[in-house]
Amino acid sequence: MDISASTPLPFWKRQLPFLQSKRDKWILVLFSVFYAPFFLIVFQPFGVNNYDPTHEVSLVFALSAMGFGLMNGITLFVYEFGIVPLLFRKNNLPVFAVRIILALIFLSSTTFLLYNYIGNFHDWSFKSYLGFIRDVSLMGVIPFGVIFLYFGYRDNRKAYLDLQRQSEELIWLTADNGKDKLGLTLEHLLFIEAQDNYVAVFHRENERVKKSLLRTTMKKLESQLQAFPVVRCHRSFLINISSVQKVTGNNHQLKLHIERVDVPIPVSRSYIPLLEEQLDIHHK
């Protein structure tokens, strides 16, 4: 029986974890509310002080800067919670890049409108609008960069802690030579198939099904796994009971359906009573 593992997606097609949860979106929105006035007041970029080195921050200037921050927050709130779910069904690298570019254009547009509204539309021109897209995009590189660095650090730390936790729970499968070993958690183990002088261990890795080969026998692996809910269902298959999603067939021919595996696993008639007992225990 030929069961092939799924091929990993190219990196540009993989789903990015950034800005997927409501919490992450709120972090971006709130950060932009405070970042814009801070940046405008402290650095006074793009000639907001009319290039006067002696310019002092007045109450009006500070309130205006906070107004731009509030406008940025409202814009990103509407964009992330209203527009993004409608326009972007995926979150791979190309889609995410378009999503960020569009966000910067939205921010530039609302900033341009607010700036002209405050100034009685004294700078209402397409050339000025293009300048706002350039300046606001340059200004937006910092908050987006900081947010993504934070998200990256947070996700890497979580992955590290998960890996550390999993390393304490690893099941080690050893080949005949005693040197080749495969360590994985019980929840990641799906099933094991005999293939000539090897056994193929099918397991989950990064939400994909991966096949790892060990030069040993099914009998030896069965012995190594006797303390776990991994049982023989066929002379060529060992199955992790917890990975079984559905059982089809009857007492003469059962088939086990495994998560993320298209081809069902056959059950030999001699193993049906033991397997039914194990499945009953599992479903209680």
Q: How does pLDDT run across 122-145, given as a tens digit for each residue?
A: 889 999 999 989 988 888 888 788
Whichever domain contains 176, its CATH number is 2.40.50.1020
Q: What is the pLDDT of residue 26?
A: 92
Q: Would you place residue 115 in the very low, low, confident or very high pLDDT band (cuts 50, 70, 90)?
A: confident
Is residue 152 domain-shared with residue 271, that is, in the same domain? no
**Using one digit for the tens of pLDDT, what is the confidence trace for 42-59?**
877 766 665 556 667 788
Domain coverage including residue 253: 171-283
Q: What is the pLDDT of residue 147?
A: 82
Over residues 65-89, mean pLDDT:
92
Q: What is the pLDDT of residue 281?
A: 42
Q: Report yes or no on 5 lying in a domain.
A: no
Chain-centre distance of CA 242, in angstroms? 24
Q: What 8-state DSSP symbol labels residue 188?
A: G
Q: What is the pLDDT of residue 254?
A: 86
Domain end marker among 101, 136, 165: 165
Q: What is the pLDDT of residue 52?
A: 58
Over residues 62-70, mean pLDDT:
89
Q: What is the pLDDT of residue 186?
A: 87
Q: Report yes or no on 3 lying in a domain.
A: no
Is residue 124 domain-shared with residue 190, that is, in the same domain? no
Is residue 67 domain-shared with residue 202, that is, in the same domain? no
Q: What is the pLDDT of residue 53?
A: 61
Count other Cβ atoms within 10 Å, centred on residue 178: 7
Is residue 21 domain-shared with residue 158, that is, in the same domain? yes
Q: What is the pLDDT of residue 71?
A: 93
Over residues 171-184, mean pLDDT:
89
Whole-number Å distance between alpha carbons of 35 and 130: 22
This prediction has a pTM of 0.54
pLDDT of 7 over the 80 cut: no
Higher pLDDT, residue 261 or 281: 261
H-type alpha helices, 44-173: 59-78, 84-87, 93-118, 126-167
Whole-number Å distance between alpha carbons of 238 and 219: 10
Q: Report yes or no on 74 lying in a domain.
A: yes
